[in-house]
A and B are shown apart, each in its own frame.
Chain A
């Protein structure tokens, strides 16, 4: 677990500027619907949602570090816990749990019971291949890349597809040595 330093997700969420989740939920839904209209291919929509998430993640990490007092996580294990307990809580107001660690501590699952993106959503039959919440995997990937962890994030379970929870597998590909994180626009 994280040392005493970082603030709890609940404490941060209580202090940030908050808005009615409906606006966020409906805006995200309308965006997914518009992407489906414009791109037609479900696969392409998955890709774009991930890309949007990635772009958000690389910006959101600064706010996260500033508000959470998290200095730098020593290892991947601690990082995953912080994302689940602090990250999800301070932005989305929900807590996630971490489980299914592999032996060498480089791959785990982040599990969400519930998240505000999916309120009211029912996938039509024509969208069976859609990872509706794919923006989340992009956010995690983008944010971690800014703290020098290159990861691969994939969906294992999805309530919208009939599973009992949302499960994201986060796999550490490599920990890049500290360098100035300058990114291209993409």
Chain B
């Protein structure tokens, strides 16, 4: 086992990246903030895919690479696999994680709770939009990893069950522009 750090280091850093770009640099331009946060994730995914594939044979097709993302890659990051993988057999894959770690802390983020005192529906909305900001980083990681494995793609996320937040559901569509 290599070097480890406390999980709060990663959590704090991710929270701060989102807050820096979303609240400070591009307060009124969420799409620009999203693009920057995604770019950070892309670089990380690109580098991690290099590291995590070192001791394994080359993937013979896209499906094998995507399965690798769902199993080994996800386990390295979150100590659990993707819960469900679906495909329409035309290049779209949906990856579902029912307990996504990086979203579960948002429900307890004090900076979000602060807004709760006023209008509950406004609070719910702000919680949902903050959660949306937080998925650009993992989307970027997946896009970076897959493109380094030779699969150029677009990745988007769909968060359900927010702001109930008891169980978090996150799904990705991996749209491949190449034949499968």
* A-B complex is real: yes
Task: Give A contacts to B, CB under 8 Å.
Answer: 13, 16-24, 26-31, 33-34, 38, 48, 51-52, 55-56, 59-60, 63, 90-93, 116, 119, 185
With both chains docked as a complex, state the minimum distance between the C-beta of A133 and any C-beta of chain B, in angstroms.
Answer: 13
Check B48 for interface membership: any CB of A closer than 8 A: yes
Number of A-B contacts (CB under 8 A): 97
- Known contacts A56-B12, A92-B9; A20/B47 CB under 8 A: no
* Distance from B116 Cβ to chain A, minimum over Cβ atoms (Å): 17
Closest 3 CB pairs of A and B: A21-B3, A30-B43, A17-B7
Contacts of A29 in B (CB 8 A): 43
Residues in B with CB closer than 8 Å to A24 are 5, 9-10, 13
Q: Which of B17-25, B118-126, B172-180 contacts A (4 or more CB under 8 A)?
A: B17-25
Contact B4 A56 (CB under 8 A): no
Tell me if B40 counts as interface (CB < 8 A to partner A). Answer: yes
Chain A nearest CB from B104 CB (Å) reads: 12
Give the residue among A18, A27, A92 with the most B Cβ atoms within 10 A.
A27
Partner of B76, one of A20, A56, A60: A20
Give 1 or 0 for each of B21-32: 1 = CB within 8 Å of chain A CB: 001010000000
**Total contacting residues, chain B, CB less than 8 A:** 30
B57 interface residue (CB < 8 Å to A):
no
Residue in B2, B12, B15, B43 whose beta carbon sits within 8 Å of that of A20 in the complex? B2
A16-B6, A18-B4 as given contacts; A23 in contact with B12, CB under 8 Å: no
B14 within 8 A of A: yes
Closest to B109 in A: A59
Name which residue of chain A comes closest to B26, CB basis. A38
What residues of chain B lie closer than 8 Å to A19, measured between beta carbons? 4-7, 10, 77
Partner of B20, one of A20, A52, A63: A52
Other-chain residue from B9, B17, B51 in contact with A31 (beta carbon distance below 8 A): B17
Which residues on the B side are within 8 Å of A26 (C-beta)? 43-44, 47-48
Does A20 lie within 8 Å of B8, measured CB to CB? Answer: no
Say which residue of A30, A33, A56, A91 sits within 8 Å of B6 (CB atoms).
A91
B14, B23, B43, B76: most-surrounded residue (chain A CB, <10 A): B43
Shortest Cβ gap from B105 to chain A (Å):
11
Interface centre among B10, B25, B36, B76 (most CB of A within 10 A): B10
- Asked if B113 lies at the interface with its beta carbon under 8 angstroms from chain A, I say no
